[in-house]
Amino acid sequence: NAGVTQTPKFQVLKTGQSMTLQCAQDMNHNSMYWYRQDPGMGLRLIYYSASEGTTDKGEVPNGYNVSRLNKREFSLRLESAAPSQTSVYFCASSEGRRGETQYFGPGTRLLVL
Amino acid sequence: GESVGLHLPTLSVQEGDNSIINCAYSNSASDYFIWYKQESGKGPQFIIDIRSNMDKRQGQRVTVLLNKTVKHLSLQIAATQPGDSAVYFCAEKNNNNDMRFGAGTRLTVKP
């Protein structure tokens, strides 16, 4: 099993450009999450999905949209990137509801110029 | 301990020594805690968890201690090895089922 995979690994955008970060898990988990990690700070939840077809905002949702395409895949979209969105983005999944042990992907490093 | 600033707390230990990493959590209603290890350039990796009805749990070379009275969590690593060098952070699940993550402590193991 690959666990949680993310693409791309690294991306550079100009302010105003859009992009979609892809995430997939092969553990048959119901819940999936998107976090951002900034230097010296803990992971902050952007959006999560408790099941296919449902999504909910987390702590820092502004400037992002998500799609739970199917049980395996959960994508994060930046419609108009801003320098403040420069960060490392992690996707995670858990078997059940929020709060259970979450398993993380390797991350996407995003630089917005 | 944890930090909300730009610089993480650091712990430097000699190979073979025991390491103790601390975490202070904020919500007395939190009932589930996890320790993660994050190596440079990688995603967080689950190490060990503990529920609030326990005060100690042991894994392979790792022990987590929970003191609910002072809202303190610690991770002990026995016989620390160079491969243990990483950032370690704790996470707490509060009564809204939200998982909150600490910023972490950077562990450096000297050979």
Beta strands in chain A (DSSP E): 4-7, 10-13, 19-25, 31-37, 44-51, 54-57, 64-68, 74-78, 87-94, 103-104, 108-112
Q: How far is CA B90 from CA B12, B25, B39, in A?
A: 18, 9, 15
Q: What is the pLDDT of residue B88?
A: 96
| pLDDT of B2 over the 90 cut | no
Q: What is the pLDDT of residue B8?
A: 80
- Greatest distance between any 2 Cα atoms in chain A: 38
Q: Mean pLDDT, to the nearest integer, of A89-111?
A: 90
| % residues pLDDT > 90 (chain A) | 86
Of B46, B93, B102, the CB nearest to A42: B102
> Would you say how long chain A is, in residues?
113
Q: What is the pLDDT of residue A99?
A: 65
| % residues pLDDT > 70 (chain A) | 97
| pLDDT of A81 over the 90 cut | yes
| pLDDT of A97 over the 80 cut | no
Nearest-CA distance B5 → chain A (Å):
5
With CA atoms as reference, report the closest residue to A89 among A47, A28, A54. Answer: A47
Q: What is the pLDDT of residue B7?
A: 64
Q: What is the pLDDT of residue A100?
A: 80
Q: What is the pLDDT of residue A29?
A: 94
Chain position carrying tokens 């350039």: B41
Picking from A44, A94, A102 by the largest number of B CB atoms within 10 A of its own CB, the best residue to mutate is A102
Cross-chain Cβ contact A42/B98 below 8 Å: no
